A and B are shown apart, each in its own frame.
Chain A
Amino acid sequence: QSVLTQPPSVSGTPGQRITISCSGSSSNLGRNPLNWYQHLPETAPKLLIYTNTQRPSGVPDRFSGSKSGTSASLAISGLQSEDEGDYFCSVWDDSLNGWVFGGGTKLTVL
């Protein structure tokens, strides 16, 4: 049972915009910055969004992050087949004194 809650799956068609939610608590999302990771099949995870809304160099602006209180979301616009994979939110949890990940959301591009 993850301390960060994500939907297990989400799907969309090419070109569509989808969002993935991440819900936490006052000990994690409520006080610390959130990051999103993309984990595509047969590859290493990739930092997609850091500090709630920032994109590392090389990440397309189709990917965007937002956060409000103890909830956050990742939006992907102009969905592409190569976006298919798993997406994880993550944050430091002050109560657990550790880095925690959401359970992950499997994105399927139909």
Chain B
Amino acid sequence: QLQLRESGPGLVKPSETLSLICSVSGGSIRSTGHYWGWIRRPPGKGLEWVGNIYYNGSPYYNPALKSRVSISVDTSKNQFSLRLNSVTAADTAVYYCARLMGVTEADYWGQGALVTVSS
């Protein structure tokens, strides 16, 4: 059974960089036809797409975050990661990593990681 798990600091200071890793087990991140993505949900708000990546391709980013976000894959560790620069309180959210069957069909999700931006 495929499992995903997010890890990283739960507290980040304003203007600093948010970094999260998604560890994939029970399957390969090189799986053909599957994308890997990050989605977040701020408190009291809805789901928001952050970005997707294919294991050997270029990432896709939410245009609203594109100038601050970076997603990369480490196939040797079966992991993919998220970096979000210059964070503000508006970036406080539960961040989920997910496997996608296509570009928008996320069929496996991590349990989520709450990241709070505060000084």
A residues with a Cβ closer than 8 A to B are: 2, 33, 35, 37, 39, 44-47, 50-51, 56, 86, 88, 90-92, 96-104
Q: Which of A45, A92, A103, A104 contacts B104 (CB 8 A)?
A: A92
B25 within 8 A of A: no
* Interface residues of chain A: helix, strand, loop or mixed (majority): strand
Q: How many A-B residue pairs have CB under 8 A?
A: 59
From the candidates B52, B105, B112, name the one contacting A35 in the complex (CB within 8 A): B105
A42 to chain B, nearest CB (A): 9
Q: A104 to B39: give the CA distance in the assembly, Å.
A: 14
Asked whether A90 and B96 contact (CB < 8 A) given A35-B105, A47-B107, the answer is no
Cβ distance A93 to chain B, nearest Cβ, rounded Å: 10
Does the CB pair A45–B39 fall under 8 Å?
A: yes
B interface residues, how many (CB within 8 angstroms): 22
Q: Are B106 and A98 in contact (CB under 8 A)?
A: no
Looking at the assembled complex, report how far the CB atom of B21 sits from the nearest CB atom of chain A, in whole angstroms: 17
**B52 interface neighbour in A37, A99, A104, Cβ under 8 Å:** A99
Stretch of B9-17, B42-50, B71-79 lying at the A interface: B42-50
Task: Collect the chain B residues with CB atoms within 8 Å of residue A103's CB.
Answer: 46
Q: Which of B54-106 contact A (CB under 8 A)?
A: 60-63, 96, 101, 103-106
Q: How far is the CA of A91 from the CA of B103 in the complex (A)?
A: 9
Decide: B104 and A2 in contact? CB cutoff 8 A: no
> Which residues of chain B have a CB within 8 Å of any CB of chain A?
39, 41, 46-49, 52, 60-63, 96, 101, 103-107, 109-112
Q: How far is the CB of A79 from chain B (nearest CB, A)?
A: 22
- Give the shortest distance, in Å, between A85 (CB) and chain B (any CB): 12
B60 proximity list for chain A (CB < 8 A): 97-99
Q: How far is the CA of A45 from the CA of B37 in the complex (A)?
A: 13
Extra 20 A-B pairs, beta carbons < 8 Å, given A45-B106, A92-B103: A33-B104, A37-B47, A39-B47, A44-B96, A44-B110, A44-B111, A44-B112, A45-B109, A47-B107, A50-B107, A51-B105, A88-B46, A88-B47, A90-B47, A90-B104, A91-B104, A97-B60, A99-B62, A99-B104, A102-B46
